[in-house]
Structure 1
Amino acid sequence: MVEKQTAGRDNLGDFALKFAELNDDVLFGQVWSREDKLSPRDRSFLIVTALISQGAFEQLKYHMTKAKENGITKEEISEMITQLAFYVGWPKAWSAFGIAKEIWK
């Protein structure tokens, strides 16, 4: 079961309320809750891959933490990043490994 997300409202509610609502209610509320379509583990694997590919490292720490909670192992995250290095770039892999090492201590 997906937990209720409030990060949008907590961080942007007084500045960008509509974006905060879309983040909390649509992305994390409606899309992430469709566990019959994609398991939380698979969704995490997909999101982490997408964020590394984009170089979106600010969001990566949160999503790697969720990936670990959703069952992604240290060995799997290491293999994922190694594989991605050849497709999205060595520097992005190095940055992702730095974050992964913090989370999978």
Structure 2
Amino acid sequence: MPQERYARGLAKLEEIDGEAGTRVIDSLHDIAPDFARYLIEFPFGDIYSRPGLDLRSREIAVVAALTAMGNAAPQLKVHIGGALNVGVTRDEIVEVIMQMAVYAGFPAALNGLFAAREVFAARAMEHPG
């Protein structure tokens, strides 16, 4: 069962976040390899793999939550990329982040918009045209 959970989580992580997710996991191997495993098994192997929501809906929720937190810019950038990977549009991401100004305040929404701008610019550099 643990191996199945890990394999399911790793596949889901790669489906959503691609290289960005792999970089996060790899960055933990020298300091907390168990934590890297937990990140694969629980969020991606257990939660993201549940049938109740599609990946698009899940990533919209994560972008909203991380924006509202206001202190998770690196994770927000990874999940903005993940949202784009699963079909959320740039305009939808911007709207979700703007919506968070109502509940989390303007500073959190501004930080979210700045993170989105960075992700969008990096994507444009990777895929010009």
Relative to the length of structure 1, the TM-score reads: 0.84
Q: Quote the Cα distance in structure 1 between the aligned partners of 2:111 and 2:105.
A: 10
1:6 to partner: Cα distance: 4.4
SS at match of 2:37: helix
Aligned match of 1:19: 35
SS at match of 1:71: coil
Over aligned residues, Cα RMSD in angstroms? Answer: 2.0
1:46 aligns with 2:61: yes
Q: Quote the Cα distance in structure 1 between the aligned partners of 2:22 and 2:97.
A: 29
Question: Quick check: 2:60–2:88 contact (8 Å CA) kept in 1?
Answer: yes
1:16-65 CA distances to partner (integer Å, 9 max, x unpaired)?
A: 2221111012222222222x221000000111111111111121110000
Question: Quick check: 1:41–1:67 contact (8 Å CA) kept in 2?
Answer: yes
1:37 aligns with one of 52, 61, 77: 52
Q: Quote the Cα distance in structure 2 between the aligned partners of 1:80 and 1:67.
A: 11
1:54-96 CA distances to partner (integer Å, 9 max, x unpaired)?
A: 1111211100000011111122112112211121011111111
Question: Quick check: 1:53–1:92 contact (8 Å CA) kept in 2?
Answer: yes
Count of residues in correspondence between the two structures: 104
Instruction: From the superposition, tell whether residues 15 and 26 of structure 1 become closer, same or farther in structure 2 (CA, over 3 Å).
Output: same
Q: Quote the Cα distance in structure 1 between the aligned partners of 2:92 and 2:65.
A: 16
Specify which structure has the higher proportion of helix. Answer: 2
Relative to the length of structure 2, the TM-score reads: 0.70
1:65 aligns with 2:86: no
Runs of 5+ consecutive residues of structure 1 not aligned to the other structure: none
Q: Quote the Cα distance in structure 2 between the aligned partners of 1:90 and 1:25.
A: 34
1:8 to partner: Cα distance: 5.6
Question: Quick check: 2:80–2:116 contact (8 Å CA) kept in 1?
Answer: yes
Aligned match of 1:89: 105
Instruction: From the superposition, tell whether residues 24 and 8 of structure 1 become closer, same or farther in structure 2 (CA, over 3 Å).
Output: farther
